[in-house]
Chains A and B, each alone.
Chain A
Amino acid sequence: MAKIETIKTEKQLLDKIEHCGACLEKKFHCQDGHRAIVICGGTGCLSSESAEILAKFQKIIIEKGLSETVTANIVGCFGFCSQGPFVKIFPEETLYTKVKMSDVEEIIEKDIVNHEIVERLLFVDPVTKQKVQKQHDINFYKLQKRDIALHGNDEINPEDIDEALGDGTFIALNKALHMTRQEVIDEVLKSGLRGRGGAGFPTGRKWQFAYNVESEDKYIICNGDEGDPGAFMDRSIIEGNPCNVIEGMMIAGYAIGAKNGYFYVRAEYPVAVDRLKKAIAELEEAGLLGDHILGTDFSFRCHIRLGAGAFVCGEETALLNSVEGKRGMPRPRPPFPAVKGLWGKPSVINNVETLANVPYIIREGAAHYASFGTDDSKGTKVFALGGKVNNVGLVEVPMGTTLRQLIFDIGGGIPNNKKFKAIQTGGPSGGCLTEKDLDTPIDYGSLIAHGSMMGSGGAIVMDEDNCMVDVAKFYMTFICDESCGKCSPCRIGTKRCLEILTNICDGKGTLQDLESLKELSAVIKANSLCGLGQTATNPIISTMAAFPDEYRAHVVDHVCPAHVCKSMTQYHIVPDECFGCGMCARGCPAGAIFKTEEPSKKNPRLMLHEIDQSKCVKCGACMTACRFHAIIKK
């Protein structure tokens, strides 16, 4: 690798940015017949061999003697993960989806050499059935604003700081260093930026508290312990543009007067950790991290600490304990971390996405940033849209976008013509929103008013096949596993809730159970020590409020309307549909399916099959095995 030039003055930085910017510009606009191939390097696409696809592109480029005019590199995450791996060709900006190893030769041969589009790899709009050539014409991208937190994510090579610089990284830091520390804080206050990790506390105020405390040592901590199951925006932000987050952290460090910053990242995210390490090492070598940054008095260093698989460490005081090498249990507050945080020093803990917003605010100005969003929530929010929705992926939308737009316009609706049932936002601390809430604009206030919360941005869509009692039980199992055990309301209370829910799902519930659940939930909410405990029962409270009939059906009629809870579900073969082929009987592990004496109406030469309910283990193997959809759940 080429040696990294040192950048010690403002002039050197600006020259470098101009030079790298021109290189990047040249790459994307490709004068003199140059072509650039970029490939998605997010975790989703990497698991579908995108790294191997890149290697194959590079190999063929060399073999065909195209190295002079064609480049290929990895970029961050395209966000539209259900269609990955992506290959995008510049300057035409043609986007190929679901690319496989076997497609590489064809792309090179047709597109790169002969300038023909490989039609079969283009995205097909599920509604119009039209092929779409360019990324920004795909409905999934149309309503999004992907240039604040996901800035650079599908354009620059996350492992090349020159590309980050060319994309304008560190312009904001340079600008901030010309402002007083108070001015930087005021700018962030004015922007209306609120914490993206869950609670939504105004970021500028957090900084102000830490700024106000006199201390030789202060710390800025980036919370990348994204433990909410179903949320992966922090991972993608770090993987896609680590320098942007580092810059945000440096600006925060300058504002509060910290010399050291700690990234606390989940150990489950090895790619994010590697890219972050690499970026930090290169920035240190360039002199952009270290002493007297850009010739000023500001000195700053970044460190990385890994989580070790504890959900509660996403809570800021628990996170501090974990960095200090202790059990990750929350501390009582006050004192707040801004006064007494890491190693007893004033500390600010900001979420990854929050810090990723900061450079944009400083670069473009608070007023411009605040022009996006609603009165109570400014800017954009990244959501990890998942579950039963067509377009699964990472979405950045301006605050105030409605849930309907999120699920149906961007998300493309529910697969297999199923009916939308609920969307769970905010992870285990959040709640379920239903049909009637679909036109709610997404902002901190309205989500809370409708019984859920923003949380870190997980958005899991559920359809009519999901049982809400089962979902509540799922979250309770998670919370019981992850409760740190320090305070008894959370430790014991959640366990009792889980027992009751398990009973209900086993068909042994009573009306009294519903009362007990309500009462327990209220007690846990009021008495737990930390935010995680206080919100632990939100999934129960919100599903009970939104789906009272479903709960009643479980405890009064002992039926599970969605046919999920096994004890209350039976598999049946519909005689009119049965072909008598016997595939179900062969697939049954319990030998519960037998041939009757009655001939099939569809094929009278064969006999109808039936399920012996006393032997059935309800595994569903017969349903998968049946090719005629003759097996139903009741």
Chain B
Amino acid sequence: MPHLQGSAVTQITKIVERYKDEPTPLMMILEDVQKEYGYIPLEVQELISDLTGVPVSEIYGVVTFYSFFSLTPKGKYVIGVCLGTACYVKGSQLVLNKFSEILNLKPGETTEDGLFTLDVLRCVGACAIAPAVSVNGKVYPQVKPEEAIKIVNEYKNKEAEAC
């Protein structure tokens, strides 16, 4: 595994250790790795396979099955537009289209500067405040298409300030 840094190996080994007493810990391990690094590339899957004895083919199957796991890095800010029924009937498709247009991304894609990922969410359970948009877990209520630019700028400004 030439691509993995020593520190990553240590960290992932620590995550696997955390669940050594659980009967079938694969999902828990993957969730923690996804949270820590934002994606689960093949090299990491191979390492997990070595550490747990679960065949890498099976791990790959699991990683690609669940939408929370990603093979490629996500942007720093993940903009999720809810397309649950309550949001959809209140026009969230138009909100998604607007974000798509502003960021020039299809859902699932990440901007070249690695700042934004545009995602489709399947109901965050915030139906009362539909259409809902979530950015890194922060939920924006009753978003109108014309407010999309405001949300994007909020994070762009945050970045500019940090520089």
A residues near B, CB below 8 A? 43-44, 46-48, 81-82, 84, 226-232, 235-236, 267-270, 305-311, 322-328, 343, 384, 386-388, 392-394, 424, 427, 458, 460, 462, 466, 471, 474-475, 478, 481-482, 484, 620, 624
Contacts and interface: CB of A to CB of B under 8 A. Distances in A.
Contact of A460 (B25, B54, B89, B122): B89
B68 A267 contact: yes
A210 to B, nearest CB: 19
A305 B27 CA distance: 8
A387 B28 contact: no
Contact of B129 (A81, A427, A458): A81
A310 B66 contact: yes
Counting chain A CB atoms within 10 Å of each CB, which of B86, B89, B125, B145 scores highest? Answer: B125
Nearest to B25: A325
Contacts of B127: 81, 230-232, 384, 386, 392
Nearest to B86: A386
Interface string B42-59: 000000000000100010
Interface stretch (B5-13, B136-144, B151-159): B136-144
B126 A229 contact: no
Given A47-B139, A310-B65, A327-B62, A228 B94 contact: no
Contact of B128 (A82, A227, A267, A270): A82
Given A305-B28, A462-B89, A44 B66 contact: no
A309 B141 contact: no
Contacts of A228: 123
A311 B122 CA distance: 9
Contacts, number: 143
Contact of B62 (A47, A306, A326): A326
A327 B65 contact: yes
A229 B122 contact: yes
Contacts of A458: 85-86
Contacts of A427: 85
A466 B24 contact: no
A43 B89 contact: no
Contacts of B67: 308-310
A269 B137 CA distance: 10
Contact of B125 (A269, A307, A471): A269
B81 interface: no
Contacts of B31: 267, 306, 308
B105 interface: no
A323 B86 contact: no
A231 B130 contact: no
Contacts of A620: 94
Contacts of B23: 343
A324 B24 CA distance: 5
B116 to A, nearest CB: 19
Contact of B68 (A236, A309, A392): A309
Contact of A328 (B24, B65, B124, B138): B65
A310 B94 CA distance: 24
Contacts of A481: 122
B26 interface: yes
Contacts of A307: 66, 68
Interface string B64-107: 01111100000000000001111111100010000000000000
14 contacts: A44-B126, A47-B126, A229-B83, A232-B126, A235-B125, A267-B68, A268-B123, A268-B124, A324-B24, A327-B61, A384-B86, A458-B85, A471-B89, A481-B122
